[in-house]
Amino acid sequence: MDLQQIFDNTDFVHASGTKEELQVAEYLKTQCENMGVASRIEGFRVAMGEIETAHLYADGEEVTCKAFTCCGSGVAEGELYYMPGTDPVSIAGAKDKIVLMDTQGVGFFVYQDLMKAGAKAILFQYGNLHYPQQDIDQRDLRKVVVGEERKVLCAMIHCSDGVKLVKNNVKTIRLEVEQREYDGESHNVIAELPGKKEEWIVLTAHYDTTSLSHGAYDNMSGCAGLLGIMEYMKDKERNYGLRFVFCGSEERGLLGSKAYVEDHEAELEKIVFNINLDMIGTYMGKFIACASAEEKLAHYISYMAAETGFPVAAETGVYSSDSTPFADKGIPAVSFARLAGGTVAPIHCRYDVKEVMSMEQLQKDIDFLILFTDRFTNAAVCPVKREIPEDVKKQLDEYLFRKRKEA
């Protein structure tokens, strides 16, 4: 398999719900079929927004911004309130204010707290004060964050402008947004290699990007990993079947994997294990495994690392990727990643491009993952119990906003 060609052929932004995302889905489907593996594309709904106008004024002077999609339309005007913390005292100061946060987004509980406190609108910050580019990422106000609360206008500004707002002691902010909200469609690509058993191991990797990124590292690398495993396994006998799911819209809250487990609810009892790949194959970085399963899976991976001489830092927990919806359904799951520092392979920005990838390291990562997958698919009995430990369940509840994270 020509790994480099995969990155060459997907070297463009392909964000959730766009025609470019569908283009990459069709490309991945073709790659599966070229190996003789039957595949299909399954669509699912995603909330979309087309920003028609967005203007932000600070004491009458316009500041460049990008309004969040799906946050509604209208005008919000009020006193600026810079809120670096999310403690109760800080939240209380948001009443009737336009809130400026240090973050690029907001979670469920903080949003709920801000709405109860009476915030009028929220401004977020993106970028690096010392980078030459003044990029601003396009984000969305997610339904999972809003819940049953009201929507307020949200916008992203560059962090250099955020500093100016605070430094210049800006008093009044006015945010004007007009957008068209509509139902869009994203897609999962599914391919199967049946086994002797009627049970399956599901392998996942997302293929969508954020609005500025070409997504080479995050996460065409994981998709290349799935294709590499598929190529190796396609002509071999298997005990457990292998189902490959290339997930769309992961960057907007794991929407593809969530759609998969919801749309295939009746089949989940036949899934014994999930292997997820999210960011591998960079020149530098530590290879990790995060197991949402009984602790012995992490020990098993550590044993394999020692046996093969391939270093892996394995632990139990919840990884922010497409393994999480499977674990939440009681299916043991593991995410593999090679975590490079942001100075080497930054993600969610214009610098996530094919040049950060090492084809040599990517092949080494894939070789280890092939060995791991081969052992599991040919096991007499799946080595991992189909249950999720209580401590991992607690982490899932916190990650999925069912419980507030303990301080």
Confidence of residue 339 (pLDDT cuts 50, 70, 90): very high
pLDDT of residue 230: 98
Average the pLDDT over 97-120 and give the result.
97
Q: What is the pLDDT of residues 154-184, one digit of tens each?
A: 999 999 999 999 999 999 999 999 999 999 9
pLDDT band at residue 132, thresholds of 50, 70 and 90?
A: confident
Q: Which residue segments constitute the domains of the chain, with CATH numbers given?
A: 3-47+185-399 (3.40.630.10), 60-170 (3.50.30.30)
Chain centroid, CA 278 distance in Å: 9
Share of the chain above pLDDT 90, in %: 96
Q: Is it the case that residue 225 has pLDDT exceeding 80?
A: yes
What is d(CA 332, CA 378) in angstroms, rounded to the nearest whole number? Answer: 17
- Name the pLDDT band for 369 (thresholds 50, 70, 90): very high
Rounded CA separation 67/56 (Å): 9
Give 93-103 pLDDT, tens digit per residue.
999 999 999 99
Q: How far apart are CA 26 and CA 106, in angstroms?
A: 33
Contact (Cβ atoms closer than 8 angstroms) between residue 331 and residue 196: no
Determine the residue type at 292: S
Contact 118, 96 (CB under 8 A): yes
Please list the residues that pair with 314 across neighbouring strands: 289
Predicted pLDDT of residue 100: 98
H/E run at residue 200 = strand 200-206
Cα 233 from Cα 220, distance rounded (Å): 20
Q: What share of the chain is helix, strand, coil (3-state, %, to 5)?
A: 35, 30, 35
Residue 129's pLDDT is 85
**Mean pLDDT confidence for 43-53:** 98
Decide if pLDDT at 403 tops 80: yes
Distance spanning both ends of the chain, measured CA to CA: 48
DSSP annotation string for 1-70: --HHHHHHTT-S--BTTSHHHHHHHHHHHHHHHHTT--EEEEEEEEEEEEEEEEEEEETTEEE--EEPBT
Neighbour count for residue 195 (Cβ, 10 Å): 18
Q: In what helix (H) or strand (E) does residue 291 lie, and over which residues does it extend? A: strand 286-292
Task: With a cut of 90, say whether residue 341 has pLDDT above it.
Answer: no
Give the pLDDT confidence score for residue 342 in this predicted structure. Answer: 83
